[in-house]
Amino acid sequence: MTENVNLFREEAGLRRALRDIRAARERYQDVGVEDPSRTFNTDLIHTIETRNIIDNAEAIALSALTREEFRRHTGAANTSAERTPSG
């Protein structure tokens, strides 16, 4: 995700990141927790945290796709207006 959704972004990279995130979500569907205990179950905690990370990553990538003012335009010179928020 850091490779494609970073400070300097391009639409193609954002779309690649979104595709990868959604593929990770598909793989996550097969994840299970083998530890049946209800106390100090770190397997369960890590499984839940992984789901939350995938959800947050998708939200960040989708948000970045809609924020065009922060996107690097290939082939054009980077002006100060392209590097700062428009208002």
Q: Would you say residue 66 has pLDDT above 70?
A: yes
CA distance 13 to 20: 10
pTM: 0.71
Question: Per-residue pLDDT averaged across 66-76, rounded?
Answer: 67
Give alpha helix (H) positions in the chain.
11-28, 42-66, 80-83
Share of the chain above pLDDT 90, in %: 53
Count of alpha carbons within 13 Å of 39, Cβ hemisphere only?
0
State which CATH number among 3.40.50.1820, 1.10.510.10, 1.20.58.100, 3.30.1490.20 fits the domain covering 11-83. Answer: 1.20.58.100
Return the DSSP state at 73: P
Domains of the chain, by residue range, sit at: 11-83
SS3 of 37-54: CCCCCHHHHHHHHHHHHH
pLDDT bin (cut points 50, 70, 90) of residue 59 is: very high
